[in-house]
A and B are shown apart, each in its own frame.
Chain A
Amino acid sequence: MNKKTLATLVGSLLGAAVLASPAHAQNVKIGLLGGISGPIAAMAPSMLDASRLAIAQVNEQGGILNGGKLDVVVGDSACNPQNATDAATKAVNIDRVIATVGPHCSGAVLAAANSVTVPAGVLMVTPSGTSPEITKINDKDLVYRTVPSDDYQGRALARTLKARGIDKVAVAYLNNDYGKGLAESFKAEYEANGGTIAGYSGHEDGKASYRSDLAQLARGGADTLVIFDYGDGTGLTILRQALENNFFKTFIGADGMKSEAVIRSLGEQNLGGFFASAPVGEASASLDAFRAAFSAAGGNPDAIFTTTSYDAAFLVALAIEKAGGDKAKLAESLRAVASAPGEPIMAGEWAKAKQLIAEGKDIDYKGAAGDHEFDAAGDVPGNYAFFKVSGSTYEAIADMK
């Protein structure tokens, strides 16, 4: 331990006194709450690294406010409400963070927001809580997310199919929160738009044969099958068996099915009738900037939720800068820096953003994962495209509305 670490230690012990005084070069602390232990332990490190990349960029490019550092405290929310509320309580009360990035899992977000951060008036931006229930939190405008709710993709896909003249489908979904969430929102929107669901059933993971499920679904008379599953798992088995037995002519998947494993295993020539929807990053220059920076920092930019984790941390930093470190103005500032109109800011452009904010100009962050125009509930709509198989990969053929 060197003197600097000791100083940090002493500094953090006396942190409140320092934070309270409006000294120059004031540090600001945010909490990174993630599922470090628990069911998503394999995913969480990359997500935290991506968030920490954003914070490192802020500190390298002039720091926050009057040259202060953006400090982080990392809390283990362990993907369950018990540990999430514990981690959030410590971050809010002991470390006095003014905002949190995370928790990661939906149940953890619901509990931590409802019982800790919202009552304490602390801003929360989750990079990976996809449950539609998060939309409904009575949040005093303090809970946001950089990942679209599961509801959106299902609904967008339903409208797209109707618009393409497909009026009757059967739906097979994997019985977990991903598959079921998509299937339910798809069904509601499709039927509301006058479509017919001729078969609708959930299946369990990892069985050898789904022929009886498929035969049951085909009995409804639809020639299009919508599969909400994973293309490198059960979804592939279903697709193969449906093709082999000629149960359906057209197959539609969501982002989980848009896997190159499907093309490798089944062959392009057999997949003329296979289409998939998937989220697309709108500002691709921003995504490229993130990918380059994250690769250079030793991270894997293809790991799931890294783009949303990066954006969540970067947006929080922008909001703090815009609000001048005032906790009460954070939510308002977050909306201001994330929404049009304004000078576009790409991933990593902290110095430029800082200067524009200092000049009093409006900015609009175009993130690595998308544009992040928050709606009234703090959700992002997400941008989706409709893909077909082309060669050994997928090609976008239409935007989805």
Chain B
Amino acid sequence: MDLLGLANYAVFMAILIGIYALLALGLNIQWGFTGLFNAGIAGFFAIGAYTSAILTSLPAAHRLGGFELPMVLGWVAAMLVAAAIAWPIGKICLRFRSDYLAIATIGIAEIIRLVIRTEGWLTGGVRGITGIPRPFGELPYMQSQLAFLAIVVVLVLLAYMLVERQVNAPWGRMMRAIRDNENAAAAMGKRVADRRLQAFVFGSALMGLAGALFVHFNRSITPEAIDPMIATFLIWIMLILGGSGNNRGAILGAAAIWIIWSVSELLTDRLPTEVAIQAKYARVFIIGLTLQLVLRFRPEGIVPERQAGAASSRR
């Protein structure tokens, strides 16, 4: 273990944390500020991933794609398509109350996953899509990782600032009002259904962007990446641990959970091989236990939501 290796590993971790932070920010708009229980994050992540992959990849005979468009265009399209698909879904499903919405969104994410698996002409089916470019991918390993990290950091900061600005504006207060007491907000003349739809679409667009970054980082995408465990529930844990309703909390939660997940394997690998293999299963348990402990002892998360008064006096 030398410093260069550690640095490489840290850069890699930071990139994945950044991608997960975008997902957590998207979920924070939906759940943290608006109270929409979206259990279908993987679906919007997948839409963003596949949209950008199809638009920017090299041509292939057995599927759509090979447009070889610039990557930035792919990312914008990923957000637009994720938003466009979120819109009708939200239009139909957002009339459901919390638990029912959760069930509906799980179903939708599963439909998206099955469509991706079976519609080979569009997505490459179970084979997935390869030949996706990576920004600065032709540089040597370390430089290429650093360049990608820079892009991710810029995008996360941008998303953070935009979301932060939006939730501190009157729009944000209105959203919290809807979340905390929908009837009162409606009585005040707020168009609750439209506002909820807005939050759902914005959040989904951010998830789409995270998906796009993920495929360009890996230069490939297969349906295995959109497993609900790794692309939905992990993000929920991140947001709850970090503090839902607080954007810094969302980013911090993403970092904390990913570091626990990844670094715990380094520690268990110091054990004899036989035990080390057994210990891999314990990592899943550690994540679950962390969630239980947070819910029991600090349900508001590490960085709780700021009170409305404090938020406005700060700025």
Shortest B234–chain A CB gap in Å is: 9
Q: CA A50 – CA B21 in complex, angstroms?
A: 39
* A:72-124 near B, CB below 8 Å: 72-76, 78-83, 85-87, 89-90, 92-96, 105-108, 110-111, 114-116, 119-121
Knowing A94-B9, A106-B222, A180-B120, the reply to whether A72 touches B1 (Cβ < 8 A) is no
Q: CA A136 – CA B231 in complex, angstroms?
A: 27
Task: Among A52, A115, A120, A177, point to the contact of B219 (Cβ < 8 A).
Answer: A115
Shortest A326–chain B CB gap in Å is: 18
Residues of A contacting B265 in the complex (Cβ-Cβ under 8 angstroms): 75-76, 86-87, 90
Knowing A48-B277, A114-B220, A180-B120, the reply to whether A90 touches B1 (Cβ < 8 A) is no
Instruction: Find out whether the CB atom of A12 lies under 8 angstroms from the CB atom of B1.
Output: yes
Instruction: Find out whether the CB atom of A176 lies under 8 angstroms from the CB atom of B126.
Output: yes
* B:221-257 near A, CB below 8 Å: 221-225, 227, 229-231
* B:1-33 near A, CB below 8 Å: 1-2, 4-6, 8-9, 12-13, 16
Instruction: Find out whether the CB atom of A131 lies under 8 angstroms from the CB atom of B218.
Output: no
Residues of B contacting A395 in the complex (Cβ-Cβ under 8 angstroms): none
Knowing A110-B220, A111-B220, the reply to whether A96 touches B277 (Cβ < 8 A) is no
Residues of B contacting A176 in the complex (Cβ-Cβ under 8 angstroms): 126
- Flag whether B266 is at the interface (Cβ < 8 A): yes
Task: Among A36, A89, A115, point to the contact of B8 (Cβ < 8 A).
Answer: A89
Interface of B is mostly: helix
What per-residue 1/0 map shows which CB atoms of B265-282 lie under 8 Å from chain A? 110011011001100110
- Flag whether B297 is at the interface (Cβ < 8 A): no
Q: CA A96 – CA B229 in complex, angstroms?
A: 29
Instruction: Find out whether the CB atom of A107 lies under 8 angstroms from the CB atom of B223.
Output: yes
Residues of B contacting A9 in the complex (Cβ-Cβ under 8 angstroms): 270
Shortest A368–chain B CB gap in Å is: 22
What per-residue 1/0 map shows which CB atoms of B199-221 lie under 8 Å from chain A? 00000000000000010011111
Q: CA A75 – CA B9 in complex, angstroms?
A: 14
Residues of B contacting A39 in the complex (Cβ-Cβ under 8 angstroms): 224, 227
A-contacting 9-mer, from B127-135, B160-168, B306-314 = B127-135
Instruction: Find out whether the CB atom of B218 lies under 8 angstroms from the CB atom of A52.
Output: no
What per-residue 1/0 map shows which CB atoms of A54-80 lie under 8 Å from chain B? 000000000000000000111110111
Q: Which of A9, A79, A81, A176 has the most B CB atoms < 10 Å from its CB?
A: A81
Instruction: Find out whether the CB atom of A80 lies under 8 angstroms from the CB atom of B218.
Output: no
What per-residue 1/0 map shows which CB atoms of A16-40 lie under 8 Å from chain B? 1100000000000000000011110
Instruction: Find out whether the CB atom of A136 lies under 8 angstroms from the CB atom of B130.
Output: yes
Q: CA A39 – CA B220 in complex, angstroms?
A: 20
Task: Among B6, B217, B273, B277, point to the contact of A94 (Cβ < 8 A).
Answer: B6
Residues of A contacting B214 in the complex (Cβ-Cβ under 8 angstroms): 81
Instruction: Find out whether the CB atom of B126 lies under 8 angstroms from the CB atom of A110.
Output: no
Residues of A contacting B230 in the complex (Cβ-Cβ under 8 angstroms): 78, 80, 82-83
Instruction: Find out whether the CB atom of B273 lies under 8 angstroms from the CB atom of A74.
Output: yes
Q: CA A16 – CA B125 in complex, angstroms?
A: 42
Knowing A94-B1, A114-B218, A115-B218, the reply to whether A80 touches B227 (Cβ < 8 A) is yes
Task: Among A72, A107, A121, A175, point to the contact of B224 (Cβ < 8 A).
Answer: A107
Q: CA A119 – CA B229 in complex, angstroms?
A: 28
- Flag whether A381 is at the interface (Cβ < 8 A): no
Q: CA A150 – CA B11 in complex, angstroms?
A: 35
- Flag whether B284 is at the interface (Cβ < 8 A): yes
Residues of B contacting A94 in the complex (Cβ-Cβ under 8 angstroms): 1, 5-6, 9, 266
- Flag whether A302 is at the interface (Cβ < 8 A): no
Shortest A131–chain B CB gap in Å is: 5
Shortest A376–chain B CB gap in Å is: 18
- Flag whether B198 is at the interface (Cβ < 8 A): no
Residues of A contacting B270 in the complex (Cβ-Cβ under 8 angstroms): 9, 12
Instruction: Find out whether the CB atom of B8 lies under 8 angstroms from the CB atom of A93.
Output: yes
Instruction: Find out whether the CB atom of B280 lies under 8 angstroms from the CB atom of A36.
Output: yes
- Flag whether A133 is at the interface (Cβ < 8 A): yes
Residues of A contacting B229 in the complex (Cβ-Cβ under 8 angstroms): 38
Instruction: Find out whether the CB atom of B220 lies under 8 angstroms from the CB atom of A36.
Output: no
Instruction: Find out whether the CB atom of A133 lies under 8 angstroms from the CB atom of B219.
Output: no
Residues of A contacting B98 in the complex (Cβ-Cβ under 8 angstroms): none
Task: Among B8, B9, B224, B283, point to the contact of A80 (Cβ < 8 A).
Answer: B224
Shortest A188–chain B CB gap in Å is: 10
Instruction: Find out whether the CB atom of B277 lies under 8 angstroms from the CB atom of A107.
Output: no
- Flag whether B292 is at the interface (Cβ < 8 A): no
Knowing A36-B277, A76-B283, A180-B120, the reply to whether A133 touches B224 (Cβ < 8 A) is no
Residues of A contacting B130 in the complex (Cβ-Cβ under 8 angstroms): 110, 114, 133, 136-137
Q: Which of B6, B12, B221, B262 has the most A CB atoms < 10 Å from its CB?
A: B12
**Nearest residue in A to B125 (C-beta to C-beta)?**
A180
Residues of A contacting B134 in the complex (Cβ-Cβ under 8 angstroms): 114-115
Task: Among B120, B128, B131, B217, point to the contact of A107 (Cβ < 8 A).
Answer: B128
Residues of A contacting B284 in the complex (Cβ-Cβ under 8 angstroms): 37
Q: Which of A5, A13, A92, A133 has the most B CB atoms < 10 Å from its CB?
A: A133
Q: CA A87 – CA B9 in complex, angstroms?
A: 10
- Could you list 12 further interchain pairs (A-B, Cβ under 8 angstroms) beyond the known A39-B227, A74-B273, A177-B127? A16-B2, A36-B280, A37-B283, A74-B269, A76-B265, A89-B8, A90-B266, A93-B4, A107-B224, A114-B220, A131-B126, A184-B62
Task: State the B residues within 8 Å of A (CB).
Answer: 1-2, 4-6, 8-9, 12-13, 16, 62, 118, 120, 124-128, 130-131, 134, 140-141, 144, 214, 217-225, 227, 229-231, 261-262, 265-266, 269-270, 272-273, 276-277, 280-281, 283-284
List 9 tightest A-B contacts by C-beta distance, closest first: A107-B222, A177-B126, A107-B224, A16-B2, A114-B219, A93-B5, A110-B220, A111-B218, A119-B141
A-B contact pairs, 30 of them (CB 8 A): A37-B281, A38-B229, A74-B276, A74-B277, A74-B280, A75-B265, A76-B265, A76-B280, A80-B230, A81-B225, A85-B217, A92-B8, A94-B6, A95-B269, A96-B2, A106-B127, A106-B222, A107-B128, A107-B220, A107-B225, A110-B128, A111-B218, A114-B219, A115-B134, A119-B144, A120-B141, A131-B127, A133-B127, A175-B118, A180-B125
Task: State the A residues within 8 Å of B (CB).
Answer: 5, 9, 12-13, 15-17, 36-39, 45, 48, 52, 72-76, 78-83, 85-87, 89-90, 92-96, 105-108, 110-111, 114-116, 119-121, 131-133, 136-137, 175-177, 180-181, 184
